Each structure stands twice: as C-alpha cells, then as structure tokens.
Chain A
Amino acid sequence: MSIPRGRAWLFDNDVDTDVLAPGLYMKGPMEEMARHCLESVNPDFAANVEAGDIILAGSNFGIGSSREQAAQVLTMLGIGAVVAKSFGGIFYRNALNFGLLAVTSQADLQVAAGDVVSVDGVAGIVTNELTAKTFSCDPVPEHLMAMVAAGGLVPHLEQRLNAEREAN
C-alpha cells in the first residue's frame, strides 16, 4: 500500500473508545458521531482533520469497549495511520479490520503537532518529513498490510474470493 503521509495530531495516554466514538451519538448516523470524535480531548480535531493526517499517541490508545465504531470513525475522517506506544487490544484488531493502519512505537517521536510525518508500516519507520528524522516502529506483517491496503477485512476477502473465482 502507499505510505500514509500527513499532518501530525498529538494525543496523550489512555484515549478511550468513548472519546473516539461517544456513546451519546451511538444511535445516530456515523457522520454525526464523526463530528464529535475526540472532541473531549481536542475540540478542534474533527473540524480540521484532513485526509491522510496521522495520529501520534501515548499508551493504551483505544482502550475500553469493543465498539467497532471507534476505529470506523477514524477511517471516515480519513486518518492515514495511528502510531501509539500501545493500543487497547480490541481496538487494535478493529482498526486493522477496518483498514486503519495502527502501529506501535516505543521511540521518542520528535514530532510537533502539524509536522508532516509518514508511516511505513512494512519497513517499520516513522519519518518526520519536516526535520527528516526517522524513528522505528514495530513492522506489520505483509499479509496484514495487504488487508489494510484493501480497506479492511471484508473488502480484502471480497478481492480474494473474486480472484479465486476468476481463476477457476
């Protein structure tokens, strides 16, 4: 897949699923929920985020409930990748299953909010393109990167099954 590249949004530790996908908007349309994504920790985020932007966060990003919307809402907003010290386990599964690149990095990422960064999940490299400094992140296996590139588990299976059917 192409390497996600965009402006950095910085978040602290323990950004939970209720902050990402507030329960208050659970019954409404996803678009409405997207407008409130992360608003309790950064009210400017949803209105200003652009396709390809990258989230850099501390530990336990996405802790909390199993709601798939927490990952879905970030893909709707066009987030290119999330780099965090660690992830909530179910959120991590959901993110990759919805085509959102999520990588862990223990590096001291020297990135300021708004710096342009790129995330190479296969090579395991986060680059601050403003300063040209690179940092290591844990690489994602290629078969999972293929799933992410396809847009998630379901589209990936769709491609795979169609290819198998054409071959037969």
Chain B
Amino acid sequence: MGLTLAEKIIANAAGRDSVKPGEIVTCRVDLAMMHDSGGPRRVAPILERLNAKVWDLEKVVVITDHYVPAVDAESAAILDLTRKWVKANDVPRFHDMEGICHVVLQENGHLSPGMFVVGGDSHSPSGGAAGCFMFGVGATDMAGVLVTGETWIKVPGTIGIRWNGRLGDGVSAKDMMLAACARLGMGGGDYQVIEYFGETISDLSMPERLTLCNMAAELGAQTGIIAADQSTADYIQAAGGVSGAFETWCGDDDARYLDVHDFNADELAPQVAIPHSPANSASVEKSAGQRVDQAYIGACTGAKLEDLQMAARVLEGNKVSSSTRLLIAPASTRTTAEAAADGTLATLTAAGAILMPSGCGACAGYGAGVLAEGEVCIASTARNFKGRMGPTNSDVYLASPYTVAAAAIAGEIADPREFLS
C-alpha cells in the first residue's frame, strides 16, 4: 500500500520505511517555530525546571508578532522577555517585528518540502504550503521538542480536497476555504491531514496556498498540505531557501485517502461567513446589505501582498464610505515595502484606508483595531469566533480582501465583482 505525502514525511522523520494511520511514532523535528505569546515566556520556565538547553539552535526560529508593537507595560514586558531569551540563548534566526510568523517563516525561506515542523501556534498548518508537515503544539509539547529535538505523533490519515476549474475574477483562496468550511464543517477535518490538489490548486500562487493550508485549522484538521511543484520551488529559492528534491515529496499513486471531497472553482461566488463560525459561509448575496462599522484587512490569511493587491483593485478610484472605516495591517514589513514599491499602498491610502503595523493585531483581539460593543466588522482573517475581535456582542463576518474592500466602499456587505472592471 502506498503512502500519502503526510505519511511519507512522518515515516521519514521517524526513520521508518512506512507508517500507518493510528500508530504512534516518535519523529525527529527539522524546525521549531515559536512566537512571543506562546514561546519563550511559556517554555523558558520549563527549560529552567529541567535545567536543559535547546537541542539545536540552528533548528529554532523565534518571531515576535502577537504583542507588537507593545501597547502597554504587559506587552512590552513580554517582548522584552522574548528578546532577552533569544539573546541569552544565541538563537540565530530571530525575526523581531517583521510580521506574522506564518508569513515571515515562508518569506525567509525557512521551510523546505519534506520537512517535519512544529509551530507554537494553531495556524501552523500554513507551513503545508511549502510541502512540509507542520502542525501546532502547546507550550508543554514545544518545551519537550526544544529539549529532545523529538516529538511523538499519532499518525493521522489524509483527507483529500480536490479543486477543479478556474476561479472567476474577484474570487480567491479565502472564498475556496470558506466554501470548504461550509461543506465539511469545523469538525470535518477530524484531526487528520487535509491534502489539497487539483488544477485550481496548481494555478494558485504560494501566498494563496498558504491561506488554504492555514485554514485547515478551521476544519479541525491537524494540518493542511500541498505537494510542492515548480512554483513552490521557485518561491522557496527566491526567498533564499532550499527546495531540494521537491519532486520526491508527493503521495504515492496508490496512497489511501480517508475521503476525497470535490469542489468546482468555476461556479464559486465570493463567500461570506456570518458570525460566529467560518462554517457559516455562503455566497455574498446572502449577507449583502449588512451594515459594517469596520472593515479589516489583516492577518496571515488576509494581508499578504496579493491580498493587498486584491483590495487595491476594488478600491482603485473609490472612497471608503463615511459610515465605516477601513483598517489595513499588512502581514509583514516586507509586504509593506513591496506594496509601497508597486503603488498598492498609494491606491489603498488614497481611498481612505488607515495603515496599521504588521502583526496578529486585531485578528486575535490583541492589538489596535478591536471592536466596541455591538459593532459589526467584516475581516479578511481566518476566525470569527464569538468575542475574538472584541466584546462577545460584537460581530465578525469573514470574507476575502476583495469583499472586505467592497464593503468598505459601500458601508455594507456587497459583491466585490461590481467594483472590478
């Protein structure tokens, strides 16, 4: 019996020829990524208790993104602790205030196809876009990895999501994921692996693939993954990383999938998820006319360069409605620089968008841009759980950057295709 891509990576990391879903194996970890919230401040006390050092500093990446920039004494202290820990331990790869960890990790070429990676964040499945097996772990698990360089795993099965057809103009990876959340539900991933494939996926850029893998978390999967192809390799090399023998990191022809769900991109309309779950997604017309107090373009899934370019296409020559506000927090400082260089930022700010620092920010209810009681926000983020962006009686609708930009112009949820020429 053949192996799926995820099974192949796990078997390799476990030093085995083969693994079967359900069995428990111990894997060598190729890379461990931590951020300021779940990283040093949580793992350092455990390392101290154990009087242990990090197993291999070359395999650790630390990124500050949750509490940046500091807004109060507490967040400043967390960042200070993080920086001091990095310095004291001589961690070579530290990205301080450069953007959201999942995006920064890929922008810097830290991930290669076939790697077995753990991340201290629930959206760690993002790494699957580079053809890695990357999943989120808690602080206790992370401390164990830092001490031993290993972790145990119950081998997950693989569920296929196959997309065929071409996305229409004004429709993006975020719409694909919201549609998948609606059909499979938030438990549909069953802590298995979601592997995406099909012609639509092959046509997607790496940042768009990141959005798909990232939101495998919203399906309740352990992770998401996409087999690397030439565009993956090109992206990784351009980022200064190593793409290696990427062709070998794919599933066998006779690999066993628990299930394969088929979707058609030709028919896909822009999607909007109503509060309080990504699974409450439907075509934009179902929520058209809903008033919005705030439109937010931010987060790892919604504010990469391409996301900003989508918003700029809608906003070009238009103005943000006086009845709402549009906040844009580019996913990374590199995104900001690139968007400044290609004119995207000028289009956004001319339309009345307010630029914010790069970080997790309002998406997770941490930084600037949180909501007031009873307010309604439409956001290009990944989650709209109750109270995530502010008080429990505030509402978050999820949509693509196209649709968020359209709502900012109209002051209410609207079909972005009406604004594209």
Interface residues in chain A, defined as those with a beta carbon under 8 Å from any beta carbon in chain B: 60, 63, 66, 68, 88-90, 92-94, 96-98, 138, 140-141, 143-144, 152-154, 157-158, 161
Task: Answer whether A154 and B140 are a contact pair too, CB < 8 Å, given A92-B154, A161-B50, A161-B52.
Answer: yes
What 9 pairs between A and B have smallest CB-CB spacing? A89-B191, A153-B144, A97-B140, A141-B24, A68-B138, A89-B222, A153-B140, A157-B50, A157-B147
Asked if B46 and A66 make an inter-chain contact with CB atoms under 8 angstroms apart, the answer reads no
Residues of chain A within 8 A of B147, CB atoms compared = 157, 161
With A96-B152, A153-B141, A161-B147 given, can you name 14 additional A-B contacts, CB distance below 8 Å? A89-B156, A89-B191, A89-B222, A93-B138, A97-B138, A97-B144, A138-B22, A143-B152, A153-B143, A153-B144, A154-B46, A154-B50, A154-B143, A154-B144
What residues on A are CB-neighbors of B191 within 8 Å?
A: 88-90, 92
Cβ-defined contact, B50 with A66, below 8 A:
no
Point out residues on B near A: beta carbons under 8 Å: 22, 24, 26, 46, 49-52, 122, 136-141, 143-144, 147-148, 152, 154, 156, 187, 190-191, 220, 222
DSSP class of B's interface residues: helix, strand, loop or mixed? mixed
Known: A60-B187, A143-B26. A157 touches B138 (CB 8 A): no
Q: Write out the residue numbers on chain A whose beta carbons fall within 8 Å of the beta carbon of B148.
A: 157
Taken together as a complex, chains A and B put the C-alpha atoms of A157 and B24 apart, in Å, by 19
A148 to chain B, nearest CB (A): 11
Residue pair A157, B144 in contact (C-beta under 8 Å): yes
Give chain A residues whose Cβ lies under 8 Å from the Cβ of B22.
Answer: 138
A167: shortest Cβ distance to chain B, in Å? Answer: 16
Cα distance, A40 to B139, chains bound together (Å): 28
**Best-buried of A94, A138, A144, A154 by chain B (most CB within 10 Å):** A154
How far, in Å, is A118 (CB) from chain B's closest CB? 22
Residues of A within 8 A of B51 (CB): 161
Cβ distance A33 to chain B, nearest Cβ, rounded Å:
17
Q: What residues of B have a CB within 8 angstroms of the CB of A92 in the complex?
A: 154, 191
Which one of A88, A89, A144, A158 lies within 8 Å of B24 (CB-CB)?
A144
Nearest CB of chain A from residue B301's CB, rounded to whole Å? 18
A152–B26 alpha-carbon span in the complex (Å): 16
Determine the chain A residues whose CB is within 8 A of the CB of B136 once the complex forms. Answer: 66, 90
Closest to B52 in A: A161
B171 to chain A, nearest CB (A): 31
A94 and B24 within 8 A (CB): no
Q: Is B24 touching A154 in the complex (CB atoms < 8 A)?
A: no
Name 24 A/B residue pairs within 8 A (Cβ), A-sorted.
Answer: A63-B220, A66-B122, A68-B140, A89-B154, A89-B156, A89-B190, A89-B191, A90-B136, A93-B141, A94-B138, A96-B152, A97-B141, A98-B140, A138-B22, A143-B26, A152-B140, A153-B143, A154-B49, A157-B50, A157-B52, A157-B147, A161-B50, A161-B52, A161-B147
Within 8 Å CB of A90, what residues of B? 136, 138, 191
Q: Which of chain B's residues have a CB closer than 8 A to the CB of A143?
A: 26, 152
CB distance from A69 to the nearest CB of B (A): 11
Rounded to whole angstroms, the CA-CA distance of A153 and B46 in the bound complex is 11
Chain B residue with Cβ nearest A72: B140
Residues of B near A68 (CB, < 8 A) are 138-140
Q: A98: nearest residue on chain B (CB-CB)?
A: B140
Question: Cβ of A141: which chain B residues have Cβ within 8 Å of it?
Answer: 24
Contacts of B222 in A (CB 8 A): 89
Measured between alpha carbons, how far is A90 from B156 in the docked complex, in Å?
Answer: 12
Whole-angstrom distance between the alpha carbons of A140 and B22 in the complex? 11
Contact of A158 among B49, B138, B140, B220 (CB under 8 A): B49
Once bound together, how far apart are the Cα atoms of A68 and B52, in whole Å? 22
CA distance A153 to B52 in the complex (A): 14
Within the complex, the shortest CB–CB distance from B63 to chain A, in Å, comes to 19
Cβ-closest chain B residue relative to A165: B51
